[in-house]
Amino acid sequence: MWPPPRTRSRGPGTRTAKGVSIWDTYAHTPGNIANGDTGDVANDDYHRYQEDVALMKDIGATAYRFSIAWPRIFPEGTGQPNAKGLDFYRRLVDELLAGGIEPFATLYHWDLPQTLQDRWGGWQSADTAEAFADYAGYVAERLGDRVKHFFTINEFHSFVNMGHQGIEADIGGGKTVRIALAPGLQLPPAELNQVRHHSVLAHGLAVQAIRARGPADTKVGFAENIQSPVPAIDTPEYVAAAETATRELNAPFITVMLEGRYTDAYLADAGGDAPRFTEDELQTIASPLDFVGINVYRPGIYVAPSEEPPGYREIPINASHPKMQSGWHLFDPRSCTGRRARCSRCGARGRSSSPRTAARPRTWSPRTAGSTTVTG
pLDDT in tens, 26-41: 999 999 999 999 988 8
Peptide bond into 310 cis (omega under 30): yes
Strand partners, 151: 106, 221
Q: Is the pLDDT of residue 352 over 80?
A: no
The CATH architecture of the domain made up of 14-357 is Alpha-Beta Barrel (3.20)
- Residues of the chain with pLDDT > 70, as a percent, come to 85
β-strand pairing of 219-225 with 149-154: parallel
Q: What is the pLDDT of residue 372?
A: 26
| Counts of helices then strands in the chain (DSSP H, E) | 13, 10
List Cα–Cα distances, 131 to 122, 214, 263, 266, 367, in angstroms: 10, 17, 28, 28, 8
What crossing angle do the helices spanning 83-98 and 45-58 adopt, rounded to 10°? 10
Mean pLDDT, the chain, rounded, equals 88
pLDDT of residue 326: 87
pTM (global) more than 0.75: yes
Q: What local confidence, expressed as pLDDT, does residue 150 receive?
A: 98
Integer angstrom CA distances of residue 79 from 17, 36, 76, 109, 119:
15, 33, 7, 21, 14
| 340 has a pLDDT exceeding 70 | no
Region 174-196: mean pLDDT is: 97
pLDDT tens track for 258-282: 999 999 999 999 999 999 999 999 9
Q: What is the CA radius of gyration of the chain?
A: 21
| Residue among 246, 276, 7 nearest 126 (CA) | 276
Residue 123 pLDDT greater than 80, yes or no: yes
pLDDT value of residue 366: 43
| Per-residue pLDDT band at 343 (split at 50, 70, 90) | very low
- Distance in Å from the first CA to the final CA of the chain: 33
Q: How many CB atoms lie within 10 A of CB 128?
A: 25
What is the pLDDT, as a whole number, of residue 354?
33
